[in-house]
Amino acid sequence: YGAMLTEGFIAMMALIAATALHPDDYFAINSTVESFKALGLQVHELPALSAMVGEDLMHRPGGAVSLAVGMAHIFSRLPNMDHLMGYWYHFCIM
């Protein structure tokens, strides 16, 4: 029963983290180069997020990167936490 509760909590965090990102940036992270080009979308905040994190975030499907970026983006919006985006991202990805 505890595992199901934990899984539900992670699912809610993934949904909240996904909604924190711009939809085009979310698709840029979670799709391959070919499929993203086929969609015809443009990235919005992703270059700035990549610079704050210190890694290239585009075209890394799997879900872990979008979850970590979304959570780090939310945590970095807290007061006096805006300069810790890279630390939050690497904490979430681990």
The DSSP code sequence of 6-41 is HHHHHHHHHHHHHHHS-HHHHHHHHS-HHHHHHHT-
Name the pLDDT band for 18 (thresholds 50, 70, 90). Answer: confident
Q: 88 is written with which tokens?
A: 């939050």
Residue with tokens 């924190």: 20
pLDDT in tens, 42-76: 999 999 999 999 999 999 988 888 889 998 988 88
Q: How far apart are CA 3 and CA 45, in angstroms?
A: 35
